[in-house]
């Protein structure tokens, strides 16, 4: 079905284009990521690979591949991808099933999240974030005339969200499941779906999340340690406690780049999930605030791209990508500073990672393409969140 919102020609605005602003912020985050991975990884890299530079080299290679993908996606009209959305969704769901098969899934640290062999491995759950963003944006665009009908808009999104979340939780990967929920509910809200049904569903999902978290002993220990990390410093609260020690040691200006002590075997996953702690320790409060500011700017320009998108599909897709990146950053940083349970997801653009980095940069490429077509006036009210009433 064709998009009901007519497309209008792009027009120049005063000041820097939104696409340029997004590109600059993303570049600063990527440079920060390379520098901090290089600083946080020498010890573990030497232990595992016999060289202090192996992890940094791999991160550089993944980032180079991600930047190539970002450049390619930024040059292809985002509307062309819409026709492939159903195939992409089905294939991604299929990969989430395949990763659970012992003969195909690669298990690391008790989690079966990868498929492939050697260094050529992909993480299907990362692809699911992009597939869900396309799906929700497409559904809310095709059914804009029935936006108040929960069966037409909320139901199909919940079905796909439920299936994908269950498959991801079976890996297990609760952090990615939370990000998927943020993408879906954030886009539904901004797409104009009545807030009442959304809040009811969110409440149900929160209850289910607590039940799932408490049912598994490992997750239960993490939740309980989050409530009081100091109560079990040598057990389930060890990682968060060491993270807080690192953050506190940085004070205002930090110990200096490379001068951190927690990465010397005290803080697990210093170059991946807990790299923000290394930033706070070595660059201090100033460095941590700068990183937070960069993610805030990315959110600002991402939503600006959504407001200025030439059609409803582009607007909602920009919202989905922005919510995805920012919510993942919030969940990661929240765990590092001890205000959220540890879920094991990377900090976008900064943590060491392969599939996550490449897929996220590809999503930014799509966001850049949407932003490059911004128009001189805001889109119609129905392309973004508008007041609604519930029965």
Q: Do 312 and 1 touch, CB atoms closer than 8 A?
A: no
Residue 2 maps to a domain = no
Q: 122 — phi, psi (to 5°)?
A: -125, 155
pLDDT for residue 182: 96
**CA-CA distance, 308 to 210, in Å (whole number)?**
38
Closest by CA to 41, choosing from 311, 352, 348, 388, is 352
Q: How many CB atoms lie within 10 A of CB 13?
A: 13
Residue 6 maps to a domain = no
Residue 133 maps to a domain = yes
Closest by CA to 63, choosing from 371, 370, 372, 346, is 346
Could you say which DSSP state residue 108 is in?
Answer: E
pLDDT for residue 102: 81
**Tokens 């059609």 belong to residue:** 311
Q: Do 41 and 55 touch, CB atoms closer than 8 A?
A: yes
pTM of the model: 0.89
pLDDT for residue 71: 96
How many angstroms separate the Cα of 265 from the Cα of each of 44, 106, 228, 380? 8, 25, 23, 54
Residue 118 maps to a domain = yes
Please state whether the peptide bond connecting residue 172 to the residue before it is cis, i.e. omega within 30 degrees of 0. yes
**CA-CA distance, 327 to 8, in Å (whole number)?**
31
**Tokens 């702690």 belong to residue:** 277
Residues facing residue 121 across a β-bridge:
116
Q: What is the pLDDT along the chain (391 residues), one digit of tens a residue?
A: 445 544 544 445 567 899 999 999 999 999 999 999 999 999 999 999 999 999 999 999 999 999 999 999 999 999 999 999 999 999 999 999 999 888 777 766 666 677 876 667 888 999 999 999 999 999 999 999 998 888 889 999 999 999 999 999 888 888 899 999 999 999 999 999 998 889 998 888 888 877 876 777 766 666 666 666 666 666 667 888 899 999 999 999 999 998 999 989 888 899 999 999 999 999 999 999 999 999 999 999 999 999 999 999 999 999 999 999 999 999 999 999 988 888 889 999 999 988 899 999 999 999 999 999 987 544 443 445 544 444 3
Q: Where is 1: in which H helix or E strand?
A: none
Q: Give the chain's domain count.
A: 1
**CA-CA distance, 164 to 127, in Å (whole number)?**
11
Residue 74 maps to a domain = yes
Q: Where is 106: in which H helix or E strand?
A: strand 105-108
* CA-based max dimension of the chain: 64
pLDDT for residue 360: 97
Q: Can you give the residue range of the structural domain that contains 132?
A: 18-383
């Amino acid at each position: 079905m064709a998009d009901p919102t007519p497309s209008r020609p792009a027009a120049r605005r005063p000041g820097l284009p939104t696409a340029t602003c997004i590109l600059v912020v993303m570049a600063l985050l990527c440079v920060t990521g390379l520098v901090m991975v290089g600083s946080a990884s020498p010890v573990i890299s030497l232990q595992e690979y016999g060289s202090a530079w192996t992890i940094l080299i791999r991160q550089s290679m993944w980032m180079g591949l991600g930047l190539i993908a970002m450049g390619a996606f930024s040059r292809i009209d985002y509307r062309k991808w819409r026709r492939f959305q159903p195939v992409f969704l089905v294939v991604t769901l299929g990969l989430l099933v395949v990763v659970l098969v012992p003969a195909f899934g690669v298990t690391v640290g008790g989690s079966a999240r990868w498929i492939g062999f050697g260094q050529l491995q992909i993480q299907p759950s990362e692809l699911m974030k992009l597939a869900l963003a396309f799906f929700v944006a497409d559904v809310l665009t095709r059914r804009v005339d029935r936006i108040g009908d929960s069966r037409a808009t909320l139901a199909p999104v919940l079905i796909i969200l439920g299936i994908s979340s269950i498959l991801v939780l079976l890996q297990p990967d609760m952090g990615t499941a939370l990000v998927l929920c943020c993408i879906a509910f954030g886009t539904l809200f901004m797409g104009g779906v009545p807030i009442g049904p959304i809040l009811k569903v969110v409440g149900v999902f929160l209850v289910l999340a607590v039940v799932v978290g408490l049912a598994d002993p490992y997750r239960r220990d993490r939740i309980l340690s989050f409530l009081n990390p100091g109560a079990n410093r040598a057990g389930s609260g060890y990682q968060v406690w060491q993270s807080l020690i690192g953050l506190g040691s940085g004070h205002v200006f930090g110990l200096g780049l490379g001068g951190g002590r927690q990465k010397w075997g005290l803080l697990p996953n210093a170059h991946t999930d807990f790299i923000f702690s290394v930033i706070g320790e070595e660059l201090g409060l100033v460095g941590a605030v700068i990183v937070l500011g960069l993610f805030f700017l990315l959110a600002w320009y991402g939503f600006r791209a959504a407001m200025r998108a030439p059609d409803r599909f582009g607007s909602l897709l920009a919202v989905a990508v922005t919510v995805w990146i920012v919510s993942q950053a919030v969940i990661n940083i929240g765990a590092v500073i001890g205000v959220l349970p540890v879920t094991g997801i990377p900090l976008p653009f900064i943590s060491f990672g392969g599939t996550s980095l490449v897929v996220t940069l590809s999503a930014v490429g799509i966001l850049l393409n949407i932003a490059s077509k911004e128009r001189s006036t805001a889109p119609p009210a129905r392309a973004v969140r508008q007041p609604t009433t519930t029965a």
